[in-house]
Chains A and B, each alone.
Chain A
Amino acid sequence: MKGAVFEAVAERYADRIYAIALNYFKNPYDADDIVQEVLLKLYRSDTKFESEAHLKHWLLRVAVNQCKKISLSAWRRRNISLEGYLAGLQTEPGAEYANDAAQAAEEAERRNEILRAILKLPKKYRLIIHLYYYEDYDTKEIAGILRMNEATVRTRLARGRKILKEVFSDV
């Protein structure tokens, strides 16, 4: 895939791939590497995508595979301070806070708190939770992307949601 079509797809999906990778590694530099690898694979790929859903599924599946592959690599960056990254995050509080700087800052802090809590979840729950909430996939689709048993996905999703419920109820 090349040209304007590629750039449009990259624009649409780079942040989603980045979010998945950040979820997996809790490391912004590794997440950027994953985005680069996945988009490079797309750039080189001759796959004919039948639909937007097919394209999205392909990209997320490649992203998950790439995360697993990189996590086995001895050259992976480690020991990056997540706190440092979160502190520098340009949180977007939304248009409704445009006229109230104090409230916007409060909202930004609240979102950071949630993000921090999400990234503290055990690894086995994080990707499943992410695909469920962020990508709006059901358990069958998540099982397909992660190549897991659907029953396992359901169990982990329920446990992960239970942990997150406390975080969400506090905000």
Chain B
Amino acid sequence: MKFTVFKYISLYFSFFKNCLMREMEFRGNYILMVVASIFLNLYFLIYYMILVNRLGNNFLGWGRYEMLFFVATEVICHATFMSLCFYNVFSLPDQVRTGNFDFILIKPINARFMISTRNINFAAFTQALLGVGLAIYSLMQLNVKITLLKVTVYVAFIINSIFLMYLIGFCLMVLAFFFTKVSASGSILPYRGFFALYWFARRPEEIYSNVVVMFLTYCIPLTLIINLPAKWMVKAVSVNTLLWSLVVTPVFFALSHWFWKVGLKRYQSASS
């Protein structure tokens, strides 16, 4: 009898392998997705670069290359989220609707794990590489002192950010349990909700008033997603925010798990 941890790692590897094989089956689609996602990032990049340009290279305290690094961080987080979490996190409403979720419930495996990790999208990884490239380029232009500690903490923040994005998306998706009779467009709802919130996260927090920034840091931790890692690297981060970031993720996870249990119970008593 293997240890549970090894079992789940082995399962994850199976999912990884299966998704890779599946994606390699459709090379045309893969290339299309890569191209499309590169363009998407390009719009975002152009938007900010033009904005910064029009404002005389000073966008509320962000210079051109600082802004570029911000965008790079955004691309890295967004792309990694898309590849590891996106197709999982918003699949629940569809699975519930088609009855596929029953197949997951009946297996002797933690249902949350399966729902959260089953799909991995490789086209989005390429995007992440683009982000890394942009990040390196902007750092070079900025003459920022890059130490191993800085980079390690930056990477840790990125992992934290992706986990936060997963948790937000996951909680939205659990709502599917409560609205079992949702239409096809209803399954877009958690997705829309997520991106509505994410809109707030992918801007420099200077555009918000102090009150709003507080709210977006301590209530719905959106500023921790992009602003925190970016500022850590090219600007400055307050100690409070740093400490808070250590606390918020595990607490949020616990809350999300409770919510999941409640939702699951609802599914089990209300479905036919």
| Same complex | no
A interface list, Cβ under 8 A from B: none
B interface list, Cβ under 8 A from A: none
